[in-house]
Amino acid sequence: MQTVQIRLHPLDKQITAPRGSSLIDVLHEFGVEFPCGGKGTCGKCKVKLLQGEISADPKHKRKLQDLGLSPEWRLACMSRAEGDLVLEVGQYEAMIQADDTLFSFESREGYGVAVDLGTTTLVAQLVELSTAKVLGVETALNPQRLWGSDLISRLEAALAGNASELTRLIREEIGQMILKLLDGSEISIDRLVLVGNTVMQHLFCGYDIKSLSFYPFESSNLGVRHFNASELEWDIDCRQISFYPSIGSFVGSDILAGIHATGMWRRKEYSVLVDLGTNGEIVVGNSETLLCSSTAAGPAFEGASISMGMLASTGAISSVANTEDGLLCSVIGNVPAKGICGSGLIDAVAVLLEDGMLGEFGEIISGDLELALTDQVRLSAKDIQEFLLAKAAIAAGLKILRRKLGVTSDEVSHIYIAGAFGNYINLEKMVRTGMMCFPPDRFHKLGNTALIGAKMFLFSDIKFASELLALTRHVKLESEEDFQDIFVEELNFTPPSI
C-alpha cells in the first residue's frame, strides 16, 4: 500500500496515511470537526496548503469562492491526500462554531483543557482562553477497552472487582495525554473540563458502579465533581479540574455538552439531538424544556452486535451505493474492506431495501442467510434484525419524547446528529430506513458535540452547566406505559411518508 506523509500545523503533527485518503478520515482523528457534514457550506474544515498539491475540481473551487477563500485554501471535506502535504488547519485557529450563529466567547486569561472521555476514544484539547485558539490535540484509545468495547462489559468488569483498576487506568491515560499536550512547557492550566457518559463518569470519579448496573439504574452520584491534580496523581499545575454533571441514569455530561454545542437550549423552535454512539441518546426540546433519554441502539451502530461490525476507522465500509455494476462500497482510509461501521450499515440496509432484496420486516427475500457487500464483508440475516431493533429503538424514543412535549415532527426545525460516525451518514438513506423521519434538509451533522461542548464550557462557570441541567428532564423510555407497543410498531422498514 502506498502512503503519504501529512504534517499538520500549528500542532506540528506528522501523519502517515494511505495515498488517496479523504482528509475527513485523516483529520477527524485529530479533533477536527465537520460541522456541515462535508457539504462544503460551512467552510469550518478549511485547510491552508503550505506544501504539496490538492487538486480542486470545479465544484470545490466554486465552494471556495462562495466562502471567500483565497487559492491556497482547500476544504478538507472535499479533499484527498494524493501526495505529501503540509497543512495549516484553520479550525485550530478559532473556536468551533457548531451552531449556525456565531459562538461568542468571553475572553479569559490563561489556558484550558477540554476532555471528551469516550467509551472507545479519548480526546483532549489545549485551548488558549484569551483567543479560543486550540494549541494542541491529543487522542488515545480508552485503556479500559481491555475489558470489552461496550459499557456492559465495563460494568461487568467493575462489578467483578476491577473497578479501582479501571479508575486507575483511565486517570493515568488522561494524565499522560495532558502531559503530552503541555509538551514540557511551564503552562499552568486554569480550568480542565471532562465530559463523558455516566459509566465513564463513575469509573473516572471512582464511584460505586452497582447502582448503574441494576434496575432502576439510578445513581446519586451524577452531579459535578471537582478534583485537584494531586488526587488524580497528575503532575500538572491546574487550578480547577471538573467532571461535569450527568443528566440521568444513562445520559451523561457528554450529552449536556452536546446540548450546549447545538445551541438548542436557547431556541424557541424545537430541536432534536441524537447521538448514535454507545447509548443512542436522544434529546428533544427548546429553550423551555429538554427531554432526554437513552436507547439500546448504540451497539449496532458501533459494530458490537453486527457480525462484521466495527467502529468508524480505517478499513470500515462507511457508505454503500447502488451502481449499474452492483454495490459500490467506500472504505475509510481507502484500504481493502475489513468490516462495516454504523453509516455503512444504514446505507447497506437502505440500498438493499430499495433494490427489493430485503422485505418490509428486514427479511432477506432470496431466503439466503447472508448477503455479500464485498468479497470480504457480508451482512447476515441476524445483522439486519439487529439493525432493525436499533432503528426501532431510536424511532420509538423520538416518538415518545415528541409526544410528551406535544410536538409534531413538522414542528422540529433542527435535527443534530452527533457521534463518531455521524459525519459519514447519508441522510436520505437514513430517512429511508425510517429511523428518523424528518426532511433531510433539517439535519445537521456536528461530529463530536461532546468535545465541542466541553470546549465551550471552558468559557463559562459551572453555574451555567447547572442552569442547562435545570432545563433538562430525563425520561426512562422503558417505564413509559406504551413504550413496548410503539417499539413494536416501529419494527419494520415501511417507507416513511414525509
Q: Report the interface residues with ligand FES, using CB under 6 A.
A: 34-36, 38-45, 75, 77
Distance CA 177, CA 235 (A): 12
Measured on CA atoms in the order 59, 63, 66, 70, is the torsion positive or negative? negative
With respect to ligand FES, which residue has the nearer C-beta, 37 or 277?
37
Backbone angles phi, psi at 267, to 5 degrees: -105, 145
With respect to ligand FES, which residue has the nearer C-beta, 28 or 432?
28
To ligand FES, the closest distance from the beta carbon of 115 in angstroms equals 23
Query: Got the DSSP string for 245-256?
Result: PPSBTTB-HHHH
In degrees to the nearest 10, what's the CA dihedral of 328, 331, 333, 335?
A: -80
In sequence order, which residues have a C-beta less than 8 Å from that of residue 23 and are 6 or more positions away? 45, 47, 54, 74, 76, 77, 79, 80, 81
With respect to ligand FES, which residue has the nearer C-beta, 38 or 362?
38
To ligand FES, the closest distance from the beta carbon of 40 in angstroms equals 5
To ligand FES, the closest distance from the beta carbon of 392 in angstroms equals 31
With respect to ligand FES, which residue has the nearer C-beta, 35 or 118?
35
Nearest Cα neighbor of 282 from 389, 391, 397 is 397
Cell numbers 409534531 correspond to 408
Cell of 486: 410503539
With respect to ligand FES, which residue has the nearer C-beta, 47 or 291?
47
Measured on CA atoms in the order 359, 365, 370, 376, is the torsion positive or negative? negative
Whether 223 and 173 have beta carbons less than 8 Å apart is answered as: no
With respect to ligand FES, which residue has the nearer C-beta, 78 or 282?
78
With respect to ligand FES, which residue has the nearer C-beta, 97 or 472?
97
To ligand FES, the closest distance from the beta carbon of 60 in angstroms equals 10
With respect to ligand FES, which residue has the nearer C-beta, 23 or 259?
23
To ligand FES, the closest distance from the beta carbon of 23 in angstroms equals 9
Measured on CA atoms in the order 144, 150, 151, 155, is the torsion positive or negative? negative
Residue nearest to ligand FES (CB): 77
To ligand FES, the closest distance from the beta carbon of 452 in angstroms equals 13
With respect to ligand FES, which residue has the nearer C-beta, 41 or 240?
41
Nearest Cα neighbor of 12 from 83, 72, 73, 86 is 86
Three-point CA angle 69, 70, 74, nearest 5°:
70
With respect to ligand FES, which residue has the nearer C-beta, 24 or 352?
24
To ligand FES, the closest distance from the beta carbon of 493 in angstroms equals 30
Q: 114: which strand partners?
A: 125, 193
Query: Got the DSSP string for 41-106?
Result: SS-TTEEEEEES-----HHHHHHHHHTT--TTEEEGGG-EE-S-EEEEEGGGGS----SSS-----
Distance CA 409, CA 437 (A): 8
To ligand FES, the closest distance from the beta carbon of 303 in angstroms equals 24
To ligand FES, the closest distance from the beta carbon of 89 in angstroms equals 12
Cell of 244: 461535569
To ligand FES, the closest distance from the beta carbon of 35 in angstroms equals 6
The verdict on whether omega for the bond into residue 10 sits within 30 degrees of 0, i.e. cis, is yes
